[in-house]
Amino acid sequence: MDFFTSWGPDNELNMIPHVAAPGSNIFSTFPLSLGGYATLSGTSMSTPYMAGIAALYLSLNGPTAPLALRNRFVSTADPVDFNTGVATIEGLLAPVPQQGGGLVNAVRFMKATTVISPAFLELNVLRSEIQAEMKDTANFQPSHVVSIQNAGNQSVTYNFESVNAATAYTLSSVGSDIAPFPPTLDPASPISISLSATNATVPAGQSFNLTVTFALNETFNQSLIPVYSGFIIVDSSAPNDYGNLNIPFMGVAANLSTQDVLDTSSGFPSVTPLGIAPNGSISSSAIATFDMSNANDTPVLNYALRFPSGRLRVDLLPADPSTPVNSTFAGLGILGYFLDTQRMRLLVRNIADQTFLPRNNGSPGEPADDTFSQVNWIGNLSDGSFAPDGQYRLAARLFRWLAEDFDDPANWNTFVSPIFSIENNNSSSNSSGT
């Protein structure tokens, strides 16, 4: 696997990628005006490779459901060892969130007569036919039933065993951002596996159900958020299966709902005037005044996320905590709010209502939208009114990744700004915001 390949899992802890394909230093066609041929790298090379294999399969087998094709790619792939970007570590399987089922095997994909369902196991996702709910290790799913279907014309004997891939640590140190490549790897795994059978002979056209049970070692160090993975190996006697098929599995050995999503390094979060360095801040010792009639002199909330967040809420607080408030949200008395993004669920085949605020993954010197995010307050509140001139504080709250109860203050990372003052705040003078 090349160093620049993307890693999973996704925000809901679904296994991605599903499979790997050749995409590094590929000699390919190129515009004639630029020479006709070139050596290139990236998904522009791997995607047509996969599309070509799929097209060849469809030309021989006719219309096939997209998910069936995906599952076949996964189970017929070849797992590969981890490469540091400099050398391959022989005998240390690359983590599933890096390689998926492994390197695509076109011959086995075309000819295999064994069909495996599900083709991969996600140990932190509760899945049904109509929905996939976000889960983490606090909701670990230990038991999975896999169907091994013999779609050939003769009996097949299968032998089953399991093998662990390298455990990848998400963080390089406690409280740090997500580790750069290569991450710290551990040949040990927090998981142990038992199989309901070690072998089975399945007549032509029949299926065998294999139960895979996982046990999580709760004493395994969770502080760096280990992502563990591996493969259930299905050794087949069918000639067209060409040896082993594989069922990748993946899980996260930490309770993600307890992780801080707000990055508090490098001066974040902060409230600054528009156009001022984001990692500076208005002072707690001298009250800043914003002229709200000037679009360039409004309070800006600057924040950076270590992890995805399901909801951002920005409330207006009185400068004096003893001042009467209008309502309470998650344990904090507020005058009102002007921004609230809702966390919603992902429904399979209906993804219109899924939203996450992505983590900021840039480095200093990269574009602002990579390193931090901004919210500009122009004095308005959610009910359409504008806050009267006076002294206030802003409270920015980010909901912890995969937490579930919006009413529990412990599920939020909260930043309360120093006191500031606004003047000339009315709807006629305020016309823009971000």
Range of weakest confidence among 178-192, 208-222, 350-364: 350-364
Question: Distance between CA atoms of 89 and 84, rounded to whole angstroms?
Answer: 8
Overall average pLDDT of the 327-333 stretch: 91
Question: Which pLDDT score, from 0 to 100, does residue 20 have?
Answer: 96
Can you give the pTM of this predicted structure? 0.83
Residues 205 and 74 in one domain: yes
In a domain, 5, yes or no: no
Residue 155, token pair as written in the block: 């009996």
Residue 62 has pLDDT above 80, yes or no: yes
289 closest CA partner among 422, 426, 429: 422
Asked whether residue 4 is assigned to any structural domain, the reply reads: no
CATH of the domain at 218: 2.60.40.10
What is the rounded distance in angstroms from the CA atom of residue 38 to the CA atom of residue 34?
9
At which of 227, 255, 283 does a domain end? 255
Sequential DSSP letters for 307-342: S-BS-EEEEEEESSTTS--SEEETTEEESEEEEEPP
**Any domain includes 432:** no
* Statement to judge: residues 192 and 289 lie in one domain: no
In a domain, residue 158? The reply is yes
Residue that terminates a domain, selected from 255, 288, 323: 255
Whether residue 6 lies inside any domain: the answer is no
282 and 146 in a common domain: no
Q: What is the domain count for the chain?
A: 2
291, 244: one domain = no
Q: What digits encode the pLDDT tens for the residues 248-280?
A: 999 999 888 888 998 887 778 888 887 666 666
Same domain for 45 and 89, yes or no, is: yes
Amino acid at 396: A
| Mean pLDDT over the full length of the chain | 86
3-state secondary structure string across 345-361: CCECCECCCCCCECCCC
Model pLDDT for residues 97-116, shown as the tens digit of each residue: 999 999 999 999 999 999 99
Q: Is residue 314 assigned to a domain?
A: yes
Contact by Cβ (8 Å): 213, 193? yes
Residues 280 and 229 in one domain: no
**Count of CB atoms situated within 10 Å of the CB of 87:** 8
Distance from the first to the final alpha carbon of the chain: 40
Same domain, 241 and 377: no
List all residues 6 or more positions away from 5 whose beta carbon is below 8 Å from its beta carbon. Answer: 17, 20, 23, 98
DSSP secondary structure of 167-208: EEESBSSTTPPBPPSSPPEES--SEEEEES-SEEEE-TT-EE
Burial of 384 (C-beta count, 10 Å sphere; 0-12/13-18/19+): exposed
Q: What does residue 122 show for φ and ψ, rounded to 5 degrees?
A: -105, 110
Residues 218 and 337 in one domain: no
Evaluate whether 420 touches 288 at the Cβ level (below 8 Å): yes
Residue 179 confidence class, pLDDT cut points 50, 70, 90: confident
Residues 230 and 120 in one domain: yes
Domain stop point among 230, 255, 280: 255
Share of the chain above pLDDT 70, in %: 87
The reply to whether 260 falls in a domain is: no
Is position 64 within any domain? yes
Q: Output the pLDDT for position 239.
A: 95
Q: What is the pLDDT of residue 57?
A: 96
Closest by Cα among 292, 285, 352 to 316: 292
Give me the residue label for tokens 């022989």: 90
The residue whose two tokens read 């599933």 is 96
Supply the range of the domain harboring residue 135: 26-255
Cβ pair 187, 95 in contact under 8 A: no
Are residues 241 and 372 both part of a single domain? no
Is 277 found in the same domain as 207?
Answer: no
Model confidence at 82: pLDDT above 50: yes
* 244 and 154 belong to one structural domain: yes
- Read off the pLDDT of each residue in 27-51 and give the average, rounded to a whole number: 90
